[in-house]
Chains A and B, each alone.
Chain A
């Protein structure tokens, strides 16, 4: 069975197939989950190569655990978000703090007439501001407002309470607002 014919197959079933040596299941799981794992690590880490390392590492852990995967106990996506978040936090702890010099600054006086450029500039401004948040706030805000997960899901991923998630996102957004709102005019938002 080709992996693109496995769109309707559940993650749990794919994990069993993969653990039994099905190569199409491996490809299907990769194309289903690796992009979002990479997207999360790219948002949490400033360095692209490092983000790819983390995403690959998270996926490798999934492959390793496949024979022991307990069906129905956790969602693969939740498990991967948790592993990716923890790996990113570990990396950041090792580096002590984010090196803001690694992040390309948004252009100051570029004439942002095209919407596409404006979008890119806003995304970059957000990335720079996010890098200044503590890691858990960054993770909570990213999962809530960019990955669009709900608070109970985030609480499960971060292994904390829903109230703690609400607190983390609220504090994160307050900091982001302080950093970004004075750039709104420059970014075509006022």
Chain B
């Protein structure tokens, strides 16, 4: 209901807003010259006082902003730590499985004898 009222209001006023846009006051040359003169005078002050533009705090600020800020960095560091931990602390089960014969005995699985079957095939031609 309110939206319908707003739409009707917009319809009633649109001609007035369009008229305002069509008659946007253009700045005269004197105004633009005055603004430019201010700019140049202020620039001289900046040079005299040695004020220089900031280069966005620190070099990687842009990259940091693009990847989502410090929370994203914290998440990436956490993932990296977990990865390094998993890499260095090899679980006992991996040592156990590194010995295939022992593993085959343990699991009693034919898949571990495939290698010897292939060797046999090559030998037999």
Contact = CB atoms under 8 A, between A and B. Distances in A.
Interface of A: 15-16, 18-21, 23, 26-27, 29-31, 34-35, 38-39, 42-43, 52, 55-56, 59-60, 63-64, 66-72, 118-123, 125-127, 129, 145-146, 148, 170, 173-174, 176-177, 180-181, 184, 187, 189
A125 B20 CA distance: 10
A63 B9 contact: no
A34 B53 contact: no
A5 B69 CA distance: 35
A80 to B, nearest CB: 12
B53 A56 contact: no
B54 A70 contact: yes
A123 B20 CA distance: 5
Dominant secondary structure at the B interface: helix
Given A126-B17, A146-B21, A38 B51 contact: no
B35 A177 contact: no
B38 A60 contact: yes
Contacts, number: 131
Given A63-B42, A67-B54, A72-B62, A119 B31 contact: no
A103 to B, nearest CB: 14
- Could you say which of A59, A125, A170, A174 has the most chain B C-beta atoms within 10 Å of its C-beta? A59
Given A123-B16, A123-B19, A146-B17, 15 more contacts: A19-B43, A26-B39, A27-B36, A30-B36, A55-B27, A55-B35, A63-B43, A67-B54, A68-B53, A119-B18, A123-B20, A123-B23, A146-B20, A176-B13, A176-B16
Interface of B: 6, 9-10, 12-13, 15-27, 31-32, 34-36, 38-40, 42-43, 46-47, 51-54, 56-57, 62, 65
B35 A120 contact: no
Contacts of A145: 13, 17
B12 A181 contact: yes
A122 B16 CA distance: 5
